[in-house]
Structure 1
Amino acid sequence: MNLYRVTDPEARGELMKLVEESRETAWWTQYNLGPGYERLIGLEGAAATICDYQIGTVPGLLQTPEYAAAVVRAWTDDPEVLRSAVDVRLARQQNLNDSTSLKIVIEESVVRRSIGGRQVMRDQIRKLMAMNDGSQLELRVLPLSAGAHKGLITGFIVLRFSESMTAGSAVGFSDIVYHEGVVGEGTYIEQAAEVQGYVQVFLGLQRMALDTRDTNSLLGEILREM
């Protein structure tokens, strides 16, 4: 994985300017989203690589509609809010650039935890296996047998940007870390040294995780056990 990183503050300012300017025609403006979530969606659309590590649920960019609904129900019973939240997650998947590379690591507990019931989990696991073909998505499962590691505390997302993100740009763009909030908005980490620390942790988790072939084999075993 490319460890390209730019610390020039002008880079971050230009990136956020692009995200804000794109908001006028962005698909997500039809939804009543908080500024932190809107920012995440804008950054997803600009990222060259998204490195996502999760310990609780399947990442939103990979969720089936039924799985997404089951997750959101833990926060709300309002049918309108529920429908809107699921629609946004599906729209994020559909609007993700084909050139964006997804590097995903999930704990084995994520696919063993029953969310939405047996059929919902079976469909979700089938989707993960079908998508994990090594093209746009590289999904790795970190097995429970891995023991202690630096990702035990929380999941996180590293959004990475290429030098040539925009034609004629004089600067590159700094990587950003996002933590999803339990209550309210998520938080962003933008200090270069901290971000690089998260990058190194993610690379370490990748090395500890199963490769894509063994990941699909494990997912198949779990599917047969259901």
Structure 2
Amino acid sequence: MTRAHSPVASQRRVLGEIREARETLHLTQKDVAEALDWSVSKLIRIENGSVGLSITDLKALLLHYGITDRDRVETYVEMAKAGRKPGWWDKYKHTSSPEFLKFLGLESAAVIIRQYQLHLIPGLLQVPEYTRSLVAKDTGDPEVQERRIRLRAERQERLGDTDLEHFFILDESVLRRRVTDGDGWRTQLHHLREISRRPNVTLQILPFEAGWIDGMQSSFELLQLSEQDNDLFLNLSQPDGDLFFDDVIGAEKAAQFIQIFYRLEGAARTPEETPGFIDKVLQELED
């Protein structure tokens, strides 16, 4: 499950290319829509990825932008086709919201994942016992529980992708809140300790002694979707559900939250101190 095979990565790339082609020609979306006898809303939906890009529409756009080189056109066509292929997350479409499915696609396309958690172990770092304790509080249906556990396990497969960098900051309260029973909790803490040693994972603990830091009151996740530092997607946790930002307003929000992440990163214990901090919590369980 590497980024190279993500349909979302292919889709974002081709959409970025055609948007850049329009902007290079100093054409507005209204200019293009009128020339192609489309509604402006159609072009907006195509460019922001909220509707699929047909090969017919792609070729019409390329021709309008003067992109006629056969090899280049074929490259864009292949990217568009790859972007229409189902992702691994599509099998969960009957039990997950469209917004969450989009998030899973973007997460699979990310090159860097940064996450701050105030309350719970991040899903990417949870052991099955921990996940089961959480989902059991939401539903008593064993089938639904197992489906959610499988989904989380599939997301975690990307931890083995050494091309993907993960940066996690956990508030100390996350390590103090026992979501599962004693043995399950020890298993979770040992797992965190081992994960922190992976070369593509940076895990830091924000201790109580750090005091109050502006922006620490909400958990959030930032997905960097290309080598460009500003190509960010924000998932902001709220009591009534997550908020997903992937538009112009979202880009501004994400830029704010990357600065919050850097502040939290600076206040947290260093990555080298993480195993020892977890060992201390484990020892307290035995005392």
* Structure 2 residues without counterparts, runs of 5 or longer: 1-15, 21-45, 53-78
Instruction: Give the stretch that moved more between structures: 30-39 or 188-197.
Output: 188-197
Deviations 1:171-221 (A, max 9, x none): x97211112454456432543332111000000000000011212111001
Whether the 8 Å contact between 1:104 and 1:139 is mirrored in structure 2 is yes
Instruction: Give how far 1:14 is off.
Output: 7.0
CA distance in 2, matches of 1:20, 1:40: 20
CA distance in 2, matches of 1:200, 1:70: 33
Q: Does 1:187 align with 2:255?
A: no
Counterpart amino acid of residue 131 in structure 1: I
Larger Rg: 2
CA distance in 1, matches of 2:195, 2:209: 25
Instruction: Give how far 1:79 is off.
Output: 1.1
Aligned residue in 1 for 2:216: 152
Q: Structure 1's 15 and 212: CA in aligned 2 closer, same or farther, altered over 3 A?
A: farther
Instruction: Give how far 1:95 is off.
Output: 4.2
Alignment of structure 1 residues 9-88 onto 2, 5 Å: 10=19, 13=47, 22=83, 24-31=85-92, 32=94, 33-88=96-151
Whether the 8 Å contact between 1:47 and 1:162 is mirrored in structure 2 is yes
When the two chains are superposed, the root-mean-square deviation of aligned CA atoms in Å is 2.8
Q: Structure 1's 23 and 151: CA in aligned 2 closer, same or farther, altered over 3 A?
A: farther
Aligned residue in 1 for 2:281: 222
Deviations 1:104-134 (A, max 9, x none): 0010000110111111111111111101125
Percent of aligned pairs with the same amino acid: 27
The TM-score with structure 1 as length reference comes to 0.83
Q: Structure 1's 184 and 144: CA in aligned 2 closer, same or farther, altered over 3 A?
A: closer
CA distance in 1, matches of 2:80, 2:120: 27
Counterpart amino acid of residue 162 in structure 1: S
Q: Which has the higher contact order (CA 8 A, sep 6+)?
A: 1
The TM-score with structure 2 as length reference comes to 0.67
* Structure 1 residues without counterparts, runs of 5 or longer: 1-7, 165-171
Aligned residue in 1 for 2:269: 210
CA distance in 2, matches of 1:53, 1:85: 22
Whether the 8 Å contact between 1:37 and 1:186 is mirrored in structure 2 is no
